[in-house]
Amino acid sequence: MPIGTDTRAPARTGKDDVTGGPEAGPRHVAIIMDGNGRWAQARGRPRLFGHHAGAKRVREVVECCPALGVKYLTIFAFSTENWKRTQVEVAGLMSLFRRYISKEMKALATKNVRVRFIGDRERLDKKLIQLMDALERETADNDRTHLTIALNYGGRDEVARATKRLAQDVASGKLDPESVDEETLPRYLDTCVLPDPDLVIRTSGEARISNFLLWQSAYAEYEFIDTLWPDFTAEELARLCQGYGGRDRRFGAVKT
């Protein structure tokens, strides 16, 4: 069940979370983890070998977040468009997700990481959904790092689902249509309990956002880097966070 289905938290934006000066690092980092397949093929291995290597990299990145001041980390694991890949690769990825959750559940709970999943769960198999639910329950009281995993997620799909729920509330009389403004829709998004991302990183040299957090990233800073995801390190994340701290973020305003 998407986060936005069972709670109507107040809309939260990246602008609300800017608490430091020019040296303040990002509080919320979102990552498009790209390049697993190419990493594997460059080594003469099947694409799934790269996905397994990429899954191992996630742990290192999650563990380094507290030292960098990153409270929220959102990773793009599987998009609504990824179903177009071969049946073998999709089946392998679903198996990898099940194995990852089973293997990492205890470690994530021990390290005080809270895990949430965003995306449309209806197309996922029941065993995977059960594991996702179990991981969310197991880590619900944790607060050191908030890890959000986008699984069967697409930004347009999320906005469409949110708009449908909003329209249902208008039709049932729960919501006055005259009160709807740009702060209303975020309360229906999968990410309604999360701040907007401050920094979005895409690995592998591609310079596109691939339908990821379209609404939420309106004021995010972007970094498109050549590193393939299995080669991404904590040191590289630290460098990108440091670079973010030097940016002048005005949110449309002009400094006087």
The answer to whether the beta carbons of residues 97 and 54 sit under 8 Å apart is no
Pairing mode, if any, of strands 221-224 and 199-202?
parallel
The average pLDDT across 46-62 equals: 96
Active site (catalytic) residues? 34, 82
For 24, counting Cβ atoms within 10 Å of its Cβ (0-12 exposed, 13-18 middle, 19+ buried), the class is middle
Q: Nearest CA to 40 among 228, 203, 202, 210? A: 228
Condensed to tens digits (0 to 9), the pLDDT of residues 199-224 reads: 999 999 999 999 999 999 999 999 99
- Angle in degrees, CA 155, 161, 166, rounded to 5: 125
Condensed to tens digits (0 to 9), the pLDDT of residues 126-143 reads: 999 999 999 999 999 999
In the beta sheet, which residues pair with residue 200?
30, 222
* Percentage of residues in the chain having pLDDT higher than 70: 87
In the beta sheet, which residues pair with residue 219?
none
* 45 Cβ contact partners less than 8 Å away, ≥ 6 residues apart: none
**Predicted model pTM:** 0.88
- Angle in degrees, CA 224, 145, 39, rounded to 5: 35
What's the pLDDT score for residue 74? 98
Q: What is the 3-state secondary structure (H, E, C) of 198-216?
A: CEEEECCCCCCCCCCCCCC
In the beta sheet, which residues pair with residue 240?
none
The average pLDDT across 42-60 equals: 96
Tokens of residue 213, six digits: 């957090």
CA distance 203 to 226: 6
CA distance 46 to 41: 6
3-state DSSP assignment of residue 112: coil
- Measured in degrees and rounded to the nearest 5, phi and psi for residue 131 equal -65, -40
